Amino acid sequence: MSEQVAFQHIEKTSLIGKRIKKPDAPAKAMGKTRYINDMVLPQMLYGKILHAGRPHAEIISIDTSEAENLAGVHLVITAKDTPELRLGFVKDNAPLKDRVRCERDEVAAVAAESEAIAAAAIKLIKVDYKDLPGVFTVEDSQKKDAPVIQEHFPDNKSLKFEFKHGDLAEAEAKSDIILDDVFNVHLVTHCCMGTSCAIADFDHNGKLTIYSQTQYPYNYKMDLAPALGIDAGDIRVIQPPTGGSFGAKLDVYPFEPVAAILAQKTGRPVKILFDREEEFINSPTRQPASMHLRSGCTSDGILTFRAADVVMDNGAYTSWGATVPVIMMRTTSGHYRVPVVDFKGQAYYTNNSYAGSFRGYGNVQMTYATAQHMDMFAERLAKDHDLDPIEFRLKNAQKSGEVTPQKSYLRECALAECLTTAAEASDYVAKLNKYAAEREQKGRYKHGIGLASSIHNAGGAKIHKSDGCGTILKMDDYARVTVITGASEIGQGIDAVIGQIVAEELGVPPEHVTLVNNDSDLGPWDVGVHASRTTFIAGNGARRAAIKAKKQILAAASKQANVTAEELDLRGGYVVQDKDGAVVTRLDKMLRQMHFQPEPDVVMVSDYYEPNSEPEGRDHISDHSAAYSHAVHIAEVVVDTLTGEVKVEKVTMAQDVGRVINRMGLEAQMEGGLAFGLGFALSEEMIFEEGRLKNPNFRDYKVPTAPEMPDLDIHFIESDCEEGPYGAKGIAELPTIVIAPAIANAVYNATGIRFFNPPMTPEKVARAIWEKKNS
C-alpha cells in the first residue's frame, strides 16, 4: 500500500464551509442515546422536592414524621438541615427555604427507594403556612407599604444598570420626529425536551461527583460549592447527553444542591428528575420587561438619540435574568448608529417566578422595541419625506471600523450588506408598499411584510475576567486525534465543528477526531456555552492546538525527508510536499516513528485561547466581545383579520456569519433559533395569576409545531472576521432575536396595528382589529 501511494499526489482541499454530520445525530434520531434522564447508578435513591405551591407565606411548622415513617424513605430534609447555605447571583436564594417567596419555593425534600415512594412521601409532609399578602407586579413592588420580599432588600429593589452617552436635551432639540412607546415583553420558558435532572454521588473522601445538564461546568463548581458548604475543588462535574439547555442551565438552581445534600446525608447516589409540570413551574424563564423607549431622528432620517427606561420583574430571587440590561444597553446603543444614549434598567423583587439566561439574553426583549421604532421611523420618513425605507436604514447602518458609544468596536461590519441582500431577495420595498395600499381594501386575509435587524456579540462576551477556553490535543499511533476541550456540547454542534476544524488542520477525516468534553476532572477551563461563543472561542482554541501539533509533526518529518517544514503539509492522512502534494509518508507511520526514534517524542499539545476583548466593566464602556455581528430578517405574513391568526409564510434571513464553518450546523441553528423566536412572537406565554402558573403543560403553553415553520430563504454573509476561526463569527442567538419584531412589523404592514405587547395571539390580534374597526 505504501509503495503504491509513494507516487501519489494529494491535492489541497478544504472542509471549511462543507456540510459535516453531527456525530451523535444517528443515535439521537434512533432513540439510542442515553440521556442523563435515563441514567441509573447502583444503589441510587430518588429525590423529590416539595414545592410551596403558594406565592408568599411564613412557614409556621413542618411535620415530616409520617413521610419519614413510610417504608422505603431514607431521608426527609427541610431548611433546618441546610442552614447558611446560599446560592444565586446575589446569594439571595437557598436550597431549601424557611419562608415562602414564590410558588416554586423548595420547602422539603425526600430521598427514597423509588420515584413512586418519593412522590408518596412528599404528600405526607404536613406544612402549616401563614399566607402573606403577595406582590405580583413591579408597580405594586414599588409602593411605599409594599410587603418586603427579601430582608436584605427592604425597598424591593434588585439590580440596577445605567449607561449615558452624549447630551440628551440637545439631541431631543435636534430631532424632528420623536417616538415614545412602552413595550412589554412577556414570560416564556425554554421547554427543553429533557426535563431538569441531576444525579449527585459522594465518594468516601467527601468528593462530590455531580452528573449535570449544566452548560458551564467550571464556574458551576464555584456556584454550587457555597450551596453545599464544601470546597469547589471537591466537585467533579460530568455532563451526560442532555436534552437541550438554551440558557436554562447557566446557573445553579436549588434542585441541584438539594440532590447533593440528600446524597451527602444518605451516603447514596441521589437523582432528582423533574416531570413536565415541575419543569414548567420550577425552571427559569426569559426575563420579562417593560421597556419605555424614546427614539429621535431628523427629517433627513438620521437617528439622534435613544432613551430606554427598562423596568423588570425580578421575581423572588436573582438569577441571570435580571442582568440582561448588560446586553439590552448594547442594543439600545449599537443597533444602528446611535449618537446619544440614555439607558436605565431596574429590577424589582416580586412574588413571581424568576428568570435566568435564555437564548438572545436581553436582546430578544430590546430588539422587539428598537426594531419596531426603526420601522415606525421608516414609515414616517417614507410618507413625509419620500425616503426609501432601506435607504433610511442604510444611512444609519454602521460600517466596518466604527465604534459604538459603549466602545463595541465593529471591526468587520456587514449590516448594510445584510439589509440590501435580504431586501432584494424578498422584493421588500415593492411588497411593503403594495400591502400597505391593500390594507384598507375589502378582504378577510391581509398580507404583510416586515423587516427587522439587530446586532449581537459574536466573539464571546467578557463578563468574567477571562472569556477563554482550554484545549488539549493528542494523536495516537494510528493518526487518530483526541481533543480534550473545555467547551460543552449541549446539542449545539461543537462536536461536529471541532472535529471539522482539527481535521482541516491535520489532514485527517473528521470521523478520526474524538472529542472529550464532559468531565471537569479532565477538561481544561472554559466559561461555558453562552453568548454565541463556542465556535468562535473553542473553535479558535482547537485550531491553535491543531496547528501546534501539525508543526511538531512537520518538524519531525522535515528531518526525515530532508526538506524544510514549510515545504510540507498534512493531507488525506499523509505527509506531503506542499507545492505539488507529492506523498512523503503516511501520517500514522510518521507518528509511530516519532516515538520509536532515538529522541522519542509524542504529539500532545495544549492551548489556552483568550479572545482579544475587554472585560465588561462597571461602567459598561468596553469592547466586551472579540466580534459583533448583524442579522436582518424579513417576514412575510398572512393575517386572518377575523380569527386573528397570523401565518408566517416566509422568512428571508441574511446574517453576517463571518465565514461558514459547518454549513449544516449553521442552517440548523438558523432554523432552530427562528422557531424559538416564532413561539415567542405568536403563541408562547406563561400565564400567571397571583404568582401561580396556570398553564404548566404543552397543551396550554403553545410551542410552535412543524406545520407552523415558514419557508426560509437563508443568506450567509461572509465578512471574514479577522479574529474568528477561518473568519467565522458566533451566530446562534441572532436568529431568535430578530424574528419577533420582523413579524410585528409585518403584522403592522398587514393591519395598520402595532403590537407592543407580544405574543401576537389570534385572540389579541382579532380583538385589536375588531376594536379598530368598531371605534
Residues that bind other proteins in the complex, under the rule CB under 8 A: 120, 642-643, 645, 682-683, 687, 694-695, 699-700, 702, 704-708, 761-763, 766-767, 770
CA atoms within 13 A on the CB side of 753: 20
> In the bound complex, what is the minimum distance in angstroms from residue 71's beta carbon to other proteins?
14
Answer whether 486's CB lies under 8 Å from 545's CB. Answer: no
Distance of CA 244 to the CA centre of its chain: 11
CB of 113 to other proteins, least distance (A): 16
Q: What is the closest distance, in whole angstroms, from the C-beta atom of residue 682 to other proteins in the complex?
A: 7
Yes or no: say if 87 and 36 are a contact pair by the CB < 8 Å rule.
no
Our CB check for other proteins shows the closer of 627 and 639 to be 639
Q: Are 743 and 648 in contact (CB under 8 A)?
A: yes
Question: CB 193 → other proteins: shortest distance, Å?
Answer: 15
Minimum Å gap between C-beta 650 and other proteins is: 16
- Whether the bond between 759 and the residue before it is cis, its omega within 30 degrees of 0, is yes
759 phi/psi in degrees, rounded to 5: -80, 155
637 burial class (0-12, 13-18, 19+ CB within 10 angstroms)? buried
We find the least distance from the C-beta atom of residue 748 to other proteins, in angstroms, to be: 19
DSSP letters, 580-631, are T-BEEEEHHHHHHHHHHSSS----EEEEEE--S-----TT--S--SS-EEEE
Q: What does each C-alpha distance from 121 to 37, 67, 117 come to in angstroms?
A: 22, 5, 6
Work out how close the CB of 643 gets to other proteins at its nearest, in angstroms, rounded to a whole number: 6
Question: What is the C-alpha to C-alpha distance for residues 405 and 393, in angstroms, rounded to an integer?
Answer: 19
| Strand intervals (E) in 104-150 | 106-112, 126-131
Q: How far is the CB of 475 from other proteins (least distance, A)?
A: 47
Nearer Cβ to other proteins (722/763): 763
Closest to other proteins by CB, 300 vs 763, is 763
Closest CA to 138 of 126, 128, 149: 149
Query: Under DSSP, is residue 762 helix (H, G, I), strand (E, B) or coil?
Result: helix
- Rounded to the nearest whole angstrom, what is the least distance from the CB of residue 43 to other proteins in the complex? 26
**Residue number with CB closer to other proteins (120 or 322):** 120
Map residue 165 onto helix, strand or coil.
strand
Q: Are 768 and 755 in contact (CB under 8 A)?
A: yes
| Residue with Cβ nearer other proteins (583 or 682) | 682
Tell me the CA distances in angstroms from 731 to 61, 119, 704, one per residue in order: 51, 42, 22
Residue 150 vs 683, nearer CB to other proteins: 683
Cell numbers describing residue 713? 430563504
Comparison of 326 and 637: residue with beta carbon closer to other proteins: 637
Nearer to other proteins, 268 or 446 (CB): 446
CB of 678 to other proteins, least distance (A): 11
Closer residue to other proteins (CB): 730 or 759: 759
By beta-carbon proximity to other proteins, the closer residue of 464 and 767 is 767
Q: How far lies 470's CA from each of 112, 487, 607, 728, in Å?
A: 40, 8, 6, 19
